[in-house]
Structure 1
């Protein structure tokens, strides 16, 4: 591998935004250290591989469904993959390239982990093999330059221009997951919380996700419109998610998304994770670790005291990128 010229890097996922953004975040931070040409591949597997991959093996063109990107030679210098359906394609590339491609997996693959050159896992993931790199949380695309770039792509409501404010609060709403139910009651709790913040004089920026659900999303939009202190992004135009992070003084996150909390805690802003019903041991470990290192504070939606001062700003994507740079340097030696 010649590290004096731009290296070819493939990001391979099944196209889920959160997973892909983790990989892109690492790829972009690696590009800060050495030149890389980033190509994003989104794989769609046909049956039975869709259900049984990677356990039944295989990685050739025959496993891909219509509409899928299909990895083919010439093979890249670096692969960053994440998600169960990306494991077989990534390891197929490693085999076909005769090990020339450095293959990095983000998150515990739970299968054949030792075959990867590097497995980068957040603290709450279980894998601790010889090729493991443990970060605090999940890597992401948040960095100073990204926030500066995105801040100018969203214009706050005109009413905020001359209005006295306690500050700006970004509220990041996730939704239904295996660990957390997102019910109509959950939506009502969040609506009350946002209105209370507005009543206290905060400017509140609210964004929801596809997991919020259509009915809950519509309820949020209806209840949070018509208040000059509140901006609810209704899904039209450029997504202001990163702009919200850039402009917020405080960031409140529902507890169901490790990615959202990791992104928020990478900004240097005051971050609060809501104490809502649900969860499991893995999320409990994650939330407690974020609290222990001073990256976030847990609060109840009915007891909002926004007084947190972060003791740590996360930069997990850069941590992983530096390890990849070391692997490449060792391979070139």
Structure 2
């Protein structure tokens, strides 16, 4: 049995081991652990909300981990405490994940003012781990004032990251041509900033050209905010060039939206979505653990798979068993 009060006090005192235990508790699927995690988060809630929450996404190979390692190191040099919630892709077959972020972020991994928490996505929509919200609050209570959330990659479901963070950063590669045509409009509409990475060496000219094309493409989209126009910048996660300007724009975004009360409004909307996500999680838990359903579902799946039963009929039977 976890002593929630003692664990909460340890987290508030910056005990990293206690923070790790609390996150493990929040990620657990055991009913008793979930209840203890809820009690812990409720106790710590008044000490949360002060961090700048930044979601970082981009296509595989764009250099997310390298950029986060460089950006996080830059921020700790300014006196910030940085938590990186790196969501690893889980295997759709085994549910396993590599969890190798600490090897890809070598400098942050040994930085006393940084904390990296790899977390398997477990098939969660958008590549965002099911318990990332709880982990974020726990890190804020432990005193981390910048939260960086690295997601699996760009795709339609990546809109989930916008429901977790204050600022959504999309990383792009220098070669704009075909990639510009392939940008998903929904992702760009959610972006608060586009950063063309790998703008170093021979890639610098291509990066500037790509940035100009992305900026031109943004002109055809209606701005999501009346107080913010989406900037396009060039950076190098490898050398660190441009990261100071990138951070300055994130701070500018924060200032403008705080002044107008927009950060608070956005977070309240996110909390409502979080509530419904937890309701859906409870329904999924019923499906997994209800004895009668567990016994009946394999037969329903077999009947649908064999073409002997309509999917709608099977769905009605399952919903009826849940009282829906």
Given the two structures, how large is their TM-score scaled by the length of structure 1? 0.33
* Structure having the larger proportion of residues in strand: 1
Higher helix share: 2
* TM-score (norm: length of structure 2): 0.34
